[in-house]
Structure 1
Amino acid sequence: MNKIVAIMAGSVYKILVKPGDQVEAGQDVVILESMKMEISVAVSSGGTVKEVIVSEGDFVDEGGLLIVLD
């Protein structure tokens, strides 16, 4: 199981995947917004999205859990 976490504090601007989606290493899965900048969060290894923990508009702290991969 691989956990995808926020690389910085910010609001979840857009979620690009849903449970069941296949993702490849380097693929963007979430876009965070912080200080009017959009920051893409990518997966480091491929897998299947098991669970999306956050919703668009949620605020997350740095290191906060975003997505769980199988």
Structure 2
Amino acid sequence: MAAIDVKTEVTGKVWKVVAKPGDKLAADDEIMILESMKMEIPVVAPEAGTLKELSVAEGDAVTEDQVVAVVES
């Protein structure tokens, strides 16, 4: 089993956390939604697996390429 870091693509704020640790995810399932420049940007699972860790919460500020979750395939 490999741990895969899930990174943000933009700087913004965590608007909504959709998945919680322990959830089974398919590739491209939403983990959270970021808000940046009044746009909603989904952060998705890069491949199928189990969400092992979330390192941010709703309302947290994030930067581009920040690791916000870990998925174990």
- TM-score past 0.5 threshold: yes
The runs of 4+ residues in structure 1 deviating greater than 2 Å are none
The alpha carbon displacement at 1:44 in A equals 1.6
**Which residue does the alignment assign to 1:19?**
21
Task: Give the 3-state SS of the residue equivalent to 2:14 in structure 1.
Answer: strand
Cα distance in 2 between the residues matched to 1:9 and 1:48: 25
- Aligned AA (1:23): L
Partner of 1:41: 43
Quote the residue 2:68 is aligned against: 66
Normalising by structure 1, report the TM-score. 0.95
Aligned residues: 70
Displacement of 1:62 in angstroms is: 0.2
Cα distance in 1, alignment partners of residues 11 and 52 from structure 2: 23
Q: Which runs of 5+ in 2 are unaligned?
A: none
Q: In 1, are the aligned partners of 2:23 and 2:51 still within 8 Å (CA)?
A: yes
**2:53 equivalent in structure 1:** 51
